[in-house]
Amino acid sequence: MEKVSAEIRDVARKLLEEDKVDLIIGFEKGSLPFRATPCSIRDPKEVERLIWNSGCENNLAVYIPKKKERIGIIAKGCDSRSLMGHVKEKQIEREKLVIIGVPCKGMVDRKKVDRVLDGREALEIEEKSEELILKGHDFEEVVPKGDLLPDSCKTCTHRNPTLFDFMIGDNLDENKEADEFEAINKFEARSSDERWEYFTREANKCIRCYACRNACPLCYCEECCVDNSQPQWFGKSIELTDTQVFHIMRAFHATGRCVDCGACVRACPMDVDLRFLNKKIEKDVRELYSFEAGVDIDQPPPLSTFRPDDQDEFIK
Amino acid sequence: MEERNEASWEPKILAFLCNWCSYAGADLAGISRIQYPPNTRTIRVPCSGRVNPLFILRALQDGVDGILVSGCHPGDCHYLSGNYAARRKFAILDRLFEYIGIEKGRVQFSWVSAAEANRFAEVINEVTDEVRKLGPAKRLVKKKVE
Amino acid sequence: MEEKTVSKEDFFEFLAALTKDYQVFAPVKRDDCLVFAQVQPEDEICLDYHNTKRGVKEAFFPQREQLFSFNLGNGDEDITEPSFPDTKRVMFGVRPCDAKGLFLFDRVFGDKGYEDPYYLSKRANTIVIALGCSQPESTCFCIDNKGGPFATDGSDLLLVDLGDSYSVQVITEKGEELLKNEDKFRKADQNQVRLKEEIVEKARAFLKPSVNPEKAKERLDKNFDDPIWDRLHEKCLGCGICTFLCPTCHCFDILDETGGPKGERIRIWDSCMFPQFTLHASGANPRPTGKERLRQRVMHKFKYFVDNHGEIACSGCGRCIRYCPVNLDIREILGEIQGQ
């Protein structure tokens, strides 16, 4: 980790000193144990702030849309795929972007740490290569990192950045065994009533804080459909059906764009299962249109193109 | 939507018909005096590609029992590719609805040309029958103020 | 007022008995999440966690609340005002920071001339039994905001966990009334008083002062146009977690939801972090970017509210720190401002 951090700093310093970019977007040490927090660095003297560890959970691509400056950005596999989406959707010119890719073995899910601790607070967290040591008032617990991976990291098939200018460290072996859609297949096999009940339960947890939307790099619309007031498509309160419509639209709008980085899930304060919608659409897009987001920069997004022989069975 | 009485319940179906094909098909069905159930209310749209999923969701929230979106046959779109784009969008939406537990048949799609008056009546017959079998919509229906 | 003590066994029996005459709310686990919910005698109250994710504010100021309903179908205005239920409630296990939130709400919703019956009726019918924090968390900074792990503002009774028993501090008449005929609540003996003092001391020692809101306010009084705000908001995503989970945030939006001629006027929580917060009908927005919006959040808590009510509108519960998706820490913001 230290080696990666040092290499990131070197590249960042060079980019700033040689005036290749106006700012670097990366991670610095956060205020809570093991938390890393996004930071922008404009002065080469400040690159020492940059760090890298398994607490770098945010998808920094969220900061790209509408930026006018030349940006150097640290990108994990999923982040780089989001960046490819931004380039494709013309949110930034490729020339204005310097991507510093970092192969990633998966981040640590804060909520899973909380679940392990069950009410106790970790005052210090230490990262060893394959485990995390959680220390609190009167306990010390060693937990394998595998148990703390976010669900999206568990089934990740693109640990290595797909779009980059610099690559820090060696490429990792991709996870070939991961059954990405196992949970979705299981869910589909449940009855319609059960599925509706589950969706209802999850929507009921939502407090409409829009953290899922705002943490998502794709949600850069000038005005979100939920904020539209003329017409107001659906209500803004926590009334159940309004919340359900919001979640349907949020997932639907990410069709063929979502890279399953899990940023929405990690941002959600209420542990709403947001991924079960996104992943379903991802599966259908794969099945119907053989498309995977953020992998091939020349392949057009699935909903902005078509084939005359697209699947038609559901239409009368 | 007024209060529902289970016994005398008749499904309310909203049909989004594309101006160039399905709406003209419905028109021809009318001119030709072809009988079909009166349960549908039509909203004319320029193209099936115009139909935003929000239209469908809003209608469901407001309590319609069924929705039909109908456009030109593939290859016949007045705007060349509007219905192709719509088809991809609706394929995803159709699967998503079923996945979250909206009954299959609540939201339907069809291609009906301007010349297919009989087919239009058939589609409406089928959709009405299917929605009737499903019963009044309950899922995603927003509770009204008493 | 008087210090009492009660064994835990007796206390929970007392609480269970209260469910006959009161709706009793306490922290319980539902779906893996600790929430304040109404409990029955058989429910297991969970006090292992430091605090619930969502505080008690929604029990007094719900996220969605009907103000009145209307029917325009009869030709003339037909308005139905809601009834204010006189259900008596007891909230047990409220942390002093959340009780402080209610204390601040009392200033907002009970402001003379602007009394809010929706809030005040619920507040009047509720007895708050707070539980002091013997083991505060690292995100707690109540002591910086004129509060503390055993502060009494907003509570009717304050309990301190002494192991097998609770020390009970009676704070208001409402609290005293509740214990009037309870002989299980005895006068604390010297040992118990000493034990309580030790626990209080230990908790206070854990909390190190981190910010100085008074000093920060001196800067806030004159740094409205300061370039520091350009930097501070940079990583903020603009979501509503900090404000919605906050025990003191109380901004709301009022809107009509109609279906045909019938409808209701509701108020829902709003957040200064949202772009629509001060969006005018004309399309103009005095707070067009994240910069102005974050500034508003800080200013409202540490300057405007102080100017208007003489209190800091932050109880230091630390939820905004713990749940922020990008770890934007309000203590660091204040630190930067006061260090300017």
Of B62, B142, B145, the CB nearest to C262: B145
Polymer length of chain A: 316
Our CA angle for A121, C246, C139, nearest 5°, is: 25
Query: Mutate which of C271, C326, C333 to test chain A, going by most A C-beta atoms within 10 A?
Result: C326
Asked whether the bond before A231 is cis by omega within 30 degrees of 0, the reply is yes
Of A36, A63, A271, the CB nearest to C32: A271
From the list A47, A3, A7, the residue with the least C-alpha distance to A27 is A47
Contact predicate A180/A275, CB 8 Å = no
Contact predicate C87/C126, CB 8 Å = no
Residues of chain C in contact with residue B145, where contact means CB-CB under 8 angstroms, are 69, 257, 259, 262-264
Rounded Cα distance between C153 and C54, Å, is 19
Rounded Cα distance between C256 and C250, Å, is 19
Q: Work out the minimum CA distance from A301 to partner chain C, whole angstroms.
A: 26
Query: Do A119 and C325 lie within an 8 Å CB cutoff?
Result: no
Q: A 4-63 residues with CB below 8 A of B?
A: none
From the list B108, B94, B99, B89, the residue with the least C-alpha distance to B11 is B108
Residues of chain C in contact with residue A201, where contact means CB-CB under 8 angstroms, are 31
The predicted-structure confidence for C188-241, as pLDDT tens digits, reads as follows: 888 999 999 999 999 999 998 889 999 999 999 999 999 999 999 999 999 999
From the list A115, A76, A69, the residue with the least C-alpha distance to A92 is A69
Query: Helices marked H in chain A — which ranges?
Result: 2-17, 77-88, 110-117, 151-154, 182-188, 192-205, 211-215, 240-253, 263-267, 275-289
Which regions of chain C are under pLDDT 50?
A: none
Question: Distances in Å between the alpha carbon of C225 and those of B109, C141, C300, C335?
Answer: 56, 27, 15, 18
From the list A26, A31, A32, the residue with the least C-alpha distance to A13 is A26
Q: Work out the minimum CA distance from B138 to partner chain C, whole angstroms.
A: 16
Rounded Cα distance between C212 and C203, Å, is 19
The number of C-beta contacts closer than 8 angstroms across B and C is 15
Q: Work out the minimum CA distance from C191 to partner chain B, whole angstroms.
A: 58
Q: Is the dihedral of CA C313, C318, C323, C329 positive or negative?
A: positive
Query: Mutate which of B67, B100, B110 to test chain A, going by most A C-beta atoms within 10 A?
Result: B100
Q: A 182-201 residues with CB below 8 A of B?
A: 187-188, 192-199
CA A93 to chain centroid: 21
- Provide the 8-state DSSP code for B50: G
C244: nearest CA partner in chain A: A209
Q: What is the per-residue burial (b if ≥16 Cβ within 10 Å, else e) of A244-271?
A: bbbbbbbbbbbbbbbbbbbbbbbbbbbb
The SS3 call for residue A163 is coil
pLDDT at residue C31 in the model: 78
C206: nearest CA partner in chain A: A137
pLDDT at residue B1 in the model: 45
Rounded Cα distance between C265 and C291, Å, is 32
Strand order of the β-sheet with A140-144 is A124-127, A131-135, A140-144
| Phi (first) and psi of residue C72, to 5 degrees | -95, 10
Once rounded to an integer, what is the mean pLDDT over residues B24-39? Answer: 97
Strand order of the β-sheet with C157-161 is C33-39, C23-30, C89-94, C126-131, C157-161, C165-170, C3-7, C186-187
Rounded Cα distance between C37 and A301, Å, is 46
Identify residues of B whose CB sits under 8 angstroms from chain C CBs.
1, 62, 142, 144-146
Residues of chain B in contact with residue A288, where contact means CB-CB under 8 angstroms, are 88, 91-92
Task: Map tokens 């057009």 to a residue.
Answer: A300
Of B1, B62, B145, the CB nearest to C263: B145
Strand order of the β-sheet with A71-75 is A36-41, A23-29, A71-75, A97-101, A166-167
Beta-bridge partners for C34: C29
Residues of chain A in contact with residue C137, where contact means CB-CB under 8 angstroms, are 121
Angle subtended by helix axes A275-289 and B82-100, to nearest 10: 140
Question: Distances in Å between the alpha carbon of B72 and those of A314, B36, B42, B84, C298?
Answer: 15, 20, 16, 10, 56
C64 interface with B at CB cutoff 8 Å: no
| Element spanning B90, H or E | helix B82-100
Neighbours of chain C (3+ CB pairs under 8 A): A, B
Q: Is the dihedral of CA B120, B123, B127, B128 positive or negative?
A: positive
A127 interface with B at CB cutoff 8 Å: no
Q: A 223-242 residues with CB below 8 A of B?
A: 225, 233-235, 239, 241-242
Residue C3 burial (10 A CB sphere; 0-12, 13-18, 19+)? middle
pLDDT at residue C260 in the model: 83
Neighbours of chain B (3+ CB pairs under 8 A): A, C
B89 interface with A at CB cutoff 8 Å: yes
Query: Do B88 and A289 lie within an 8 Å CB cutoff?
Result: yes
Of A31, A33, A63, the CB nearest to C321: A31
Query: Do C262 and B144 lie within an 8 Å CB cutoff?
Result: yes
pLDDT at residue B144 in the model: 85
B88 interface with A at CB cutoff 8 Å: yes
The predicted-structure confidence for B120-143, as pLDDT tens digits, reads as follows: 999 999 999 999 999 999 999 999
Rounded Cα distance between C37 and C58, Å, is 11
- Please count the helices (runs of H) and the strands (runs of E) in chain A: 10, 8
Q: Work out the minimum CA distance from A109 to partner chain C, whole angstroms.
A: 12
Contact predicate C101/C60, CB 8 Å = no
pLDDT band at B4 (very low <50, low <70, confident <90, very high): low
The predicted-structure confidence for A219-276, as pLDDT tens digits, reads as follows: 999 999 999 888 899 999 999 999 999 999 999 999 999 999 999 999 999 999 999 9
From the list A98, A143, A97, the residue with the least C-alpha distance to A120 is A143
Contact predicate A193/B101, CB 8 Å = yes
Q: How many CB atoms lie within 10 A of CB C281?
A: 6
The SS3 call for residue C40 is coil
pTM assigned to the model: 0.95
The SS3 call for residue B108 is strand
Maximal C-alpha separation, chain A: 66
Which regions of chain A are under pLDDT 70?
A: none
Rounded Cα distance between C102 and C153, Å, is 8
Q: Tell me the percentage of chain A whose pLDDT exceeds 70.
A: 100
| Element spanning B84, H or E | helix B82-100
The token pair that represents A154 in the structure block: 């568990």
| Element spanning C194, H or E | helix C190-206
Q: Work out the minimum CA distance from B121 to partner chain C, whole angstroms.
A: 30
Question: Distances in Å between the alpha carbon of A174 and those of A55, A105, C297?
Answer: 21, 9, 44
